[in-house]
């Protein structure tokens, strides 16, 4: 049963990933991404990281992909990028080689590590074995959440706070970056004020000529 | 009082500083009085220090006053310190004494000059530098004074700088001195390298103890001698001194007769232990260069027509005598001659200045004559100076020159003979000068008949402010010889006074000639010297006064053996090419290495720059390549943990 | 019905391999695609691969720290997406229809 779930989810993941890379239209690529994200969420559930699975769906698939879609629609980038043309001749072969190389090396690393013993706590290695996520999963269904929250707000509270700061900074930065500059006006102040008040002077969201 | 010896250079320095700011307001003649007072103050302090030193026992007559730590750099510890010992106080006495007299004289001589206060400003600065030189406790303080006097010499020679020849002469003096200064600097480096200190006491002490290797001592001695040759105008660097006569006469008297040019001799005497420890050829070389220069300059003086040029070459010649003394180990004789020379040469120069002043700035002796009756005081003092320099008994020059010749005979008869020949020539040309200027027929014209002539066009006597110093110097030239008379131990006052400095240990320093033929027959040699002097006087009398014999003044002598022209040719021709080659090397090889490395970096960067084509994906590709390589290294080479 | 053959249960190695493959696909996409938004999506793919690996390892090591890390990765990915989209909007507003290949001002 587990194998079946694994295979199904894996197919979703790989199919979606390939779709993102291969499909011409941006919206299609976004849909591929959603497929991948769902697949990963299924994997999470299979690995008993329930909370994360939910968060994955809500945040990633629900918010981020929707945002991307929103921007695609907003800016009208549906002019298809012709994937048959490649301006930089070296790029395709290089990508192929590198992709294969990365996968191969990572797999080699995985298999090499599998044969070695468990991680030794040594210099710089500070791994404490806590209650295993699966083993200590007792009767309560929210055991995972409990553990996660205890870790997050306990040991990692500093990182948590910093992440909050990061979010604020990101939002503020984005707002500043995407503000539309007011161009120095050649009109008299009276006319400018009148124009400001009327809805005709409001900025439109359509891409305009450069200011 | 010995603790206050720093006042000796400080007073003229104060004078300089005050006159830099207020000089023009002080004006003519108050600036002159102020400057003279400052130097007179130094003289008073010097006398007090002298008395103090007399009060201390002979072995302890070496007092160091440290003002402040000047250069504490790593292993080098140099203090601004002054040394009061017999040699330095003796030098200070005549520098401040003669200097004050010349300052007073200059008040009269420079009267009416628009840059009157600036002149005294420089004079005081010069006095300060010279005193720092003499009082220096270590080589660097002495070098400070050395450079100072060189600079002031330049400033004062080219005082009337609007005259092209004066400006050129000033430059020539400075640059020629610089060549010598290079020697001094190298000597300082060697001394520091060998002994670790620049203090005279330490370096001399090392030489006495035997801690100074002979080769090092030789090198130091030779290099210091190079410096001395530059400063004291010996062959081959004497060329600046005749040209330096472009400066006002008080300058010639002070700097180029009495004080600055003696700095080289002073330095040699100061480091006499090093000379004793050096190879034997070093003192011999010094003696031969000295006596050679003496003869060379004397031959030139015979044919000069400018009143000051004769005296300039005479100075070169007398300095040669002093170096002869240093070379033969007669340090006391060298200092003795330095002192007497200061008296009579300053007297002669100031007298010539008085003549020039009286002749309304005429300097050519061929246009003078018969001035004795028009300028009696000048004439009489000048004659006293003449007798002193010619070496006539009992004037000062007789005693000092005789002492030098005595030691020369004891060392090498050849040196003695050359010295004797020079004495003959000295007497000859000085007599020639006296006759041409004061006696004979008047070759000047009374310009009072010409239209536009002002007041007295006849040569006139100078004011008393100028004659006073002449009289004092004349007296000193007469009795100055009595400080060192070879009759007995008691009469050799200067020798006893300088004993701790020139005989610091057994076998070091002053040469001993007791028991030699020369010592046994002092009187014989004295008579010979005196007769030679008188022979020279008579010869000149016959040639110039009586006109019995034709004057011998070949052009080659008048042009100073074409030495100047030769140097110009050499420096202008192959010299210039050498310099330009050095300059080319510096610009292209040395600078080229520096600039070239910059250029190489730029061209490399320019090449590498083209990798940045601006494509984001290319950058992504490069990053990925890096990632792959890193992974590969971790997995394959290291083996993933 | 019972299977005669033993069905292998997915071990953590399988998940890690899947993560590696997903990462590789994502990196290829970054190198190949020109549309800026699709580029962003490929980056998200890579991040997902990492989160997958983290959770797998957390499970095998037995520590909850891996999942916390995933949590943070998620948050940062969200922030990064926001900022990236903001940049893309700002650029494309001025120059509509550009692709990654047209933005070549930063050249030597």
What is the share, in percent, of chain B residues with pLDDT greater than 70?
95
Model pLDDT for residues B94-144, shown as the tens digit of each residue: 899 999 999 999 998 888 888 888 899 999 999 999 999 999 999 999 999
C-alpha to C-alpha distance for A150 and A173, rounded to whole angstroms: 31
Residue B204 pLDDT exceeds 90? no
Residues B628, A113: C-beta atoms closer than 8 Å: no
Q: Is A167 on the interface with B (CB under 8 A)?
A: no
C-alpha to C-alpha distance for B527 and B406, rounded to whole angstroms: 12
pLDDT of residue B95: 92
Q: Residues of A with CB below 8 A from B636's CB?
A: 108
Model pLDDT for residues A123-169, shown as the tens digit of each residue: 444 444 444 444 444 446 667 888 888 888 988 899 999 999 999 99
Domain that holds residue C73: 11-102
Is C83 part of a structural domain of the chain? yes
Q: Which residues pair with B76 in a beta bridge?
A: B73
Question: Which segment of B156-170, B560-574, C60-74 scores lowest on mean pLDDT?
Answer: B560-574
C-alpha to C-alpha distance for A80 and C97, rounded to whole angstroms: 10
Question: Which segment of B214-218, B285-289, B572-576, C71-75 scores lowest on mean pLDDT?
Answer: B572-576
Sequence spans of domains, chain A: 1-81, 125-181
Question: Shortest CA distance to B128 belongs to which of B231, B254, B234, B28?
Answer: B254
Contact B349, B311 (CB under 8 A): yes
CB count, 10 Å around CB of A4? Answer: 9
Query: Out of B609, B614, B620, whose CB is closest to C106?
Result: B614
C-alpha to C-alpha distance for C62 and A129, rounded to whole angstroms: 6
The total number of structural domains that make up chain C: 1
Query: Out of C103, C104, C108, whose CB is closest to B610?
Result: C108
Q: Which of C7, C18, C20, C28 is most worth mutating to test chain A (most A CB atoms within 10 A of its CB)?
A: C28
Query: Out of A68, A102, A134, whose CB is closest to C41?
Result: A68
Is C75 part of a structural domain of the chain? yes
pLDDT of residue B446: 61
Q: Residues of C with CB below 8 A from A143's CB?
A: none
Q: What distance lies between CA B174 and its chain's CA centroid?
A: 12
Collapsing DSSP to helix, strand or coil, B145 comes out as: helix
Q: What is the CATH number of the domain that holds C17?
A: 1.10.287.3510
ipTM of the complex: 0.89
**DSSP-assigned letter for residue B213:** -
Helix (H), strand (E) at residue B269:
helix B263-270
Residues 6+ apart with CB under 8 A from A27: A69, A72, A78
Angle of helix B464-479 versus helix B86-109 axis, rounded to 10: 150
Residues A131, C25: C-beta atoms closer than 8 Å: no
Contact B123, B103 (CB under 8 A): yes
Contact B286, B407 (CB under 8 A): no
Is C1 part of a structural domain of the chain? no
CB count, 10 Å around CB of B38? Answer: 26
Residues A63, C32: C-beta atoms closer than 8 Å: no
Residues B612, C107: C-beta atoms closer than 8 Å: yes
C-alpha to C-alpha distance for A170 and B244, rounded to whole angstroms: 82
Is C4 part of a structural domain of the chain? no
Question: Which segment of B43-52, B215-224, B275-284, B457-466 scores lowest on mean pLDDT?
Answer: B457-466
Task: Work out the pLDDT band at C76, boundaries 50, 70, 90.
Answer: very high
Phi and psi for B530 in degrees, rounded to 5?
-65, -45
Give me the mean pLDDT over the A35-51 stretch.
93
Is C5 part of a structural domain of the chain? no
Model pLDDT for residues A174-199, shown as the tens digit of each residue: 888 888 777 666 666 666 666 666 65
Give me the mean pLDDT over the B212-218 stretch.
85
Residue B635 pLDDT exceeds 60? yes
Chain mean pLDDT for chain A: 79
pLDDT of residue A116: 61
pLDDT of residue A140: 60
Nearest chain C residue to B621 by CA distance is C31
Question: Shortest CA distance to B319 belongs to which of B248, B402, B260, B250?
Answer: B260
Contact B317, B422 (CB under 8 A): yes
Phi and psi for B159 in degrees, rounded to 5?
-60, -45
What's the CATH number for A1-81? 1.20.120.1200
C-alpha to C-alpha distance for A149 and A146, rounded to whole angstroms: 5
Residue B37 pLDDT exceeds 70? yes
Highest-scoring range by mean pLDDT, A8-22, A183-197, B72-86, B615-629: A8-22
pLDDT of residue A129: 45
> Which chains have 3 or more CB–CB distances shorter than 8 Å to chain A?
B, C
Phi and psi for A130 in degrees, rounded to 5?
-100, -165
In chain C, the N- to C-terminal Cα span, in Å, equals 69
Helix (H), strand (E) at residue B81:
strand B76-84
What is the share, in percent, of chain A residues with pLDDT greater than 70?
71
Model pLDDT for residues B471-512, shown as the tens digit of each residue: 998 998 888 888 777 776 666 778 778 888 877 776 667 777
pLDDT of residue C71: 92
Model pLDDT for residues B292-341, shown as the tens digit of each residue: 999 999 988 888 888 898 999 999 999 999 999 999 988 888 999 999 99
What's the burial of B475, exposed, middle or buried (CB within 10 Å: 0-12/13-18/19+)? middle
User: Would you tell me which residues 113-152 of chain A have a C-beta closer than 8 angstroms to some C-beta of chain B?
Assistant: 113, 116
Phi and psi for B83 in degrees, rounded to 5?
-115, 120
Give me the mean pLDDT over the B277-295 stretch.
90
DSSP characters over B155-192: HHHTSSTTSHHHHHHHHHHHHHHHHHHHHHHHHHHHHH
Contact B183, B225 (CB under 8 A): yes
Residues C31, B620: C-beta atoms closer than 8 Å: yes
C-alpha to C-alpha distance for B314 and B434, rounded to whole angstroms: 14
Give me the mean pLDDT over the C11-16 stretch.
86
Residues A94, B641: C-beta atoms closer than 8 Å: no
Task: Work out the pLDDT band at A100, boundaries 50, 70, 90.
Answer: very high
Q: Residues of C with CB below 8 A from A48's CB?
A: 59
Residue A39 pLDDT exceeds 80? yes
- What is chain C's alpha carbon radius of gyration, rounded to the nearest angstrom? 19
Chain mean pLDDT for chain B: 85
Residues A112, B639: C-beta atoms closer than 8 Å: yes
Q: Which residues pair with B84 in a beta bridge?
A: B63
């Amino acid at each position: 049963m587990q194998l079946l779930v694994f295979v199904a989810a894996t197919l979703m993941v790989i199919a979606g990933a390939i779709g993102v890379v291969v499909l011409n239209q941006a919206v299609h690529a976004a849909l591929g991404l959603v497929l991948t994200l769902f697949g990963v969420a299924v994997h999470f559930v299979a690995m008993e990281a329930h909370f994360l699975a939910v968060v994955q769906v809500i945040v990633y698939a629900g918010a981020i992909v929707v945002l991307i879609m929103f921007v695609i629609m907003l800016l009208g980038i549906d002019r298809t990028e012709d994937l048959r043309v490649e301006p930089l001749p070296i790029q395709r072969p290089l990508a192929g080689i590198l992709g294969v190389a990365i996968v191969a090396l990572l797999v080699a690393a995985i298999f090499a590590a599998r044969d070695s013993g468990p991680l030794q706590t040594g210099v710089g290695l500070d791994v404490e074995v806590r209650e295993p996520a699966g083993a200590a999963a007792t009767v309560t269904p929210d055991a995972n959440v409990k553990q996660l929250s205890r870790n997050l707000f306990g040991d990692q509270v500093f990182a948590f706070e910093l992440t909050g700061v990061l979010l604020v900074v990101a939002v503020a930065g984005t707002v500043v970056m995407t503000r539309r500059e007011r161009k120095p006006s050649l009109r008299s102040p009276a006319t400018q004020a009148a124009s400001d008040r009327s809805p005709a002077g409001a900025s439109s969201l359509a891409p305009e000529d450069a200011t | 009082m010995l603790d206050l010896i720093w006042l000796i250079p400080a007073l003229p320095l104060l004078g300089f500083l005050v006159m830099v700011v207020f000089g023009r307001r002080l004006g003519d003649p108050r600036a002159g009085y102020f400057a003279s007072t400052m130097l007179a103050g130094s003289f008073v302090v010097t006398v007090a220090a002298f008395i103090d030193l007399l009060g201390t026992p002979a072995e302890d007559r070496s007092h160091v006053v440290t003002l402040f730590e000047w250069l504490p750099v790593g292993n080098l510890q140099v203090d601004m310190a002054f040394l009061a010992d017999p040699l330095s106080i003796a030098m200070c006495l005549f520098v401040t004494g003669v200097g004050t007299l010349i300052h007073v004289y200059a008040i009269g001589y420079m009267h009416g000059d628009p840059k009157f206060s600036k002149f005294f400003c420089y004079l005081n600065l010069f006095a300060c530098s010279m005193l720092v030189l003499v009082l220096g406790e270590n080589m660097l303080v002495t070098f400070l004074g050395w450079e100072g006097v060189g600079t002031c010499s330049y400033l004062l020679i080219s005082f009337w700088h609007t005259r092209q020849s004066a400006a050129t002469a000033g430059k020539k003096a400075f640059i020629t001195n610089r060549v010598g200064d290079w020697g001094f600097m190298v000597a300082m480096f060697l001394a520091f390298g060998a002994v670790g200190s620049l203090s005279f006491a330490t370096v001399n002490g090392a030489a006495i103890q035997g801690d100074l290797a002979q080769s090092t001592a030789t090198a130091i001695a030779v290099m210091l001698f190079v410096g001395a040759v530059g400063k004291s105008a010996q062959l081959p660097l004497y060329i600046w001194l005749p040209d330096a006569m472009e400066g006002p006469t008080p300058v010639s008297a002070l700097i180029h007769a009495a004080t600055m040019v003696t700095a080289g001799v002073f330095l040699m005497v100061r480091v006499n232990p090093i000379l004793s420890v050096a190879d034997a050829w070093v003192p011999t070389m010094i003696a031969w260069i000295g006596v050679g220069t003496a003869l060379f300059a004397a031959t030139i003086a015979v044919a000069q027509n400018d009143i000051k040029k004769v005296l300039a070459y005479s100075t070169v010649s007398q300095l040669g005598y002093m170096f002869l003394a240093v070379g033969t180990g007669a340090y006391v004789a060298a200092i003795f001659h330095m002192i007497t020379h200061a008296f009579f040469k300053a007297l002669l120069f100031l007298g010539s200045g008085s003549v020039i002043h009286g002749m309304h700035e005429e300097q050519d002796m061929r246009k003078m004559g018969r001035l004795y009756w028009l300028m009696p005081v000048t004439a009489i003092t000048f004659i006293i100076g003449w007798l002193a320099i010619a070496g006539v008994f009992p004037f000062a020059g007789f005693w000092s020159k005789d002492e030098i010749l005595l030691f020369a005979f004891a060392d090498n008869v050849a040196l003695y003979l050359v010295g004797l020949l020079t004495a003959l020539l000295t007497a000859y040309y000085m007599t020639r000068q006296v006759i041409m200027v004061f006696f004979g027929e008047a070759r000047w014209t009374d310009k009072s008949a010409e239209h536009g002539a002002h007041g007295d066009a006849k040569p006139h006597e100078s004011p008393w402010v100028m004659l006073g110093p002449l009289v004092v110097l004349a007296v000193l030239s007469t009795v100055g010889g009595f400080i060192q008379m070879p009759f007995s131990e008691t009469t050799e006052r200067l020798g006893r006074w300088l004993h701790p400095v020139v005989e610091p240990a057994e076998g070091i320093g002053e040469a001993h000639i007791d028991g030699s033929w020369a010592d046994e027959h002092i009187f014989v040699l004295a008579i010979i010297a005196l007769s030679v002097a008188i022979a020279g006087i008579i010869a000149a009398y016959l040639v110039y006064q009586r006109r019995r014999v034709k004057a011998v003044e070949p052009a080659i002598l008048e042009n100073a053996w074409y030495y100047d022209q030769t140097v110009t040719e050499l420096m202008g021709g192959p010299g210039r090419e050498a310099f330009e080659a050095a300059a080319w090397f510096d610009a292209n090889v040395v600078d080229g290495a520096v600039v070239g490395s910059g250029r190489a970096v730029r061209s490399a960067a320019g090449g590498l720059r083209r990798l940045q084509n601006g494509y984001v994906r290319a950058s992504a590709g490069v990053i990925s390549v890096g990632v792959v390589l890193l992974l590969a290294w971790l997995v394959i080479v290291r083996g993933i943990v | 019905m019972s299977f005669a053959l033993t069905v292998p249960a997915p071990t953590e190695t399988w998940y890690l391999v899947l993560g590696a493959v997903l990462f590789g696909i994502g990196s290829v996409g970054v190198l190949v695609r020109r549309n800026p938004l699709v580029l962003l999506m490929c980056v998200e793919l890579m991040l997902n691969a990492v989160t997958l690996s983290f959770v797998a390892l957390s499970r095998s090591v037995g520590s909850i720290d891996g999942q916390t890390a995933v949590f943070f990765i998620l948050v940062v990915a969200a922030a990064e997406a926001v900022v990236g989209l903001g940049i893309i909007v700002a650029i494309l507003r001025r120059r509509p229809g550009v692709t990654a290949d047209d933005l070549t001002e930063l050249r030597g």
